[in-house]
Amino acid sequence: MSAAPKQIPPRAGFEWEKLAFDLYPTSGFAKYVWTAETGEWGPVEWVKEPYLNLHVGNVGLNYGASVFEGLKAFRHADGHIRIFRPKDNAARLNHSADAVSMPALPEELFLEGVHLAVARNGDLVPPHAPNAVNGSLYIRPLMFASGANLILAPPSEFTFIVYVTPTGSLYGAAGTKAPAIDAFVIEKFDRAAPRGNGSAKLAGNYAPTFKHAAAAKKAGYPLTMHLDSATRTYVDEFSTSNFLAIKKQADASQRKTLVVPESESILKSVTTKAIIQIAKDFGWAVERRRVLFQEVKDGLFEEVAACGTAAALTPVRSITYHDSPETTKKVSIGDGENAGPGFLSILTQLTGIQSGVQEDKHDWVWPKAGVDGSV
């Protein structure tokens, strides 16, 4: 019989009530290196300083060969720490890596690196609270082409690291509290081309949205949204997260219907996968299809939400778009102010599973016994 994993208590004196979505000092990060000479990933190295020593000609910085993931660890009521759906992130990392000619990373190495980074920084996992209202430990696996090349070709070295930071909510939503926010449609910039790499979590997919998001935020819109690049008539996703909607019901006797946009340009969110399953568990219908933006304009959705690891499930109360080059129109969703009951029920169940207060029927939390602080 194997020994029980060693518990790691929360750090004493940390001001958990002030936890923001930010980077905090940690005990270090896990690092692996792949070389063409061996054709495989080397053993893990623990790096205490938050820095990397790189050749100026590394392909990651010069040509953008960099991919990443985001997932979270939560403290349960038994004091143990568990991670939400890391195997799904391992699979998506390899999908992204393939898009930019990187070697595949074995799932067991991904899990080893994630477990080690969490275990050695376990004191930065916030204290347990139902529905994770105290926050979580955000985990950032990152793979990039660390070898140098001047020609446009993969180098002979790649690096995979896992670092962490304790975080609060990206948009101010925590646990069962989810203040609805306003979104703005970006129409002068395309996030991903048709048949491009929108479905891969490439570092280069995000930086081009910064200035557009900053301008929207300055105008009062915390969230920005993208339509399809080919016709600009279909909903793709928000800049930080997936788009989800609940259809309006003709009467209360109808089943609720969760609508999930389908597109080759949409990043396949692990959180969205969980929400789809939760909706099915609730007995809702689920429509996975192309979603015309005209459906939003026509007010066919009673609720809309942004969904992702960082965003969690953030209700959207309005979407504003340009109806002409000079003027805009605002579509109010629900009562135009607050989060709706449908997504609040989903959020309560999701964060309940993550924090261990709801049954984990689908084996989403890992490891079952908890992260072992003795590693």
* Residues annotated as catalytic (active site), given as ranges: 201
Helices (H), the chain: 59-63, 86-99, 107-119, 210-218, 270-281, 293-297, 341-355
Q: Which residues contact 103 (CB under 8 A, 6 or more apart)?
A: 34, 41, 97, 158
Distance (Å, whole) CA 133 – CA 56: 42
Q: Interior CA angle at 132 toward 134 and 70, to 5°? A: 100
Distance (Å, whole) CA 318 – CA 181: 7
Q: From 275, 285, 299, select the one nearest 354 (Cα to Cα).
A: 275
Q: What is the 3-state secondary structure (H, E, C) of 212-271?
A: HHHHHHHCCCCEEEEECCCCCCEEEEECCCEEEEEECCCCCCCCCEEEEECCCCCCCCHH
127: how many CB neighbours lie within 10 A of its CB? 13
List the structure tokens of 327.
Answer: 């003027």
The counts of H helices and E strands in the chain are 7, 18
The whole-angstrom distance between residue 257's C-alpha and the CA centroid of its chain comes to 23
Distance set, CA 32 to CA 87, 109, 142, 176, 367 (Å) = 18, 9, 10, 38, 21
One-letter amino acid of 249? Q
3-state secondary structure of 170: coil
List the structure tokens of 102.
Answer: 């990187």
Burial class (CB in 10 A: 0-12, 13-18, 19+), 214: exposed
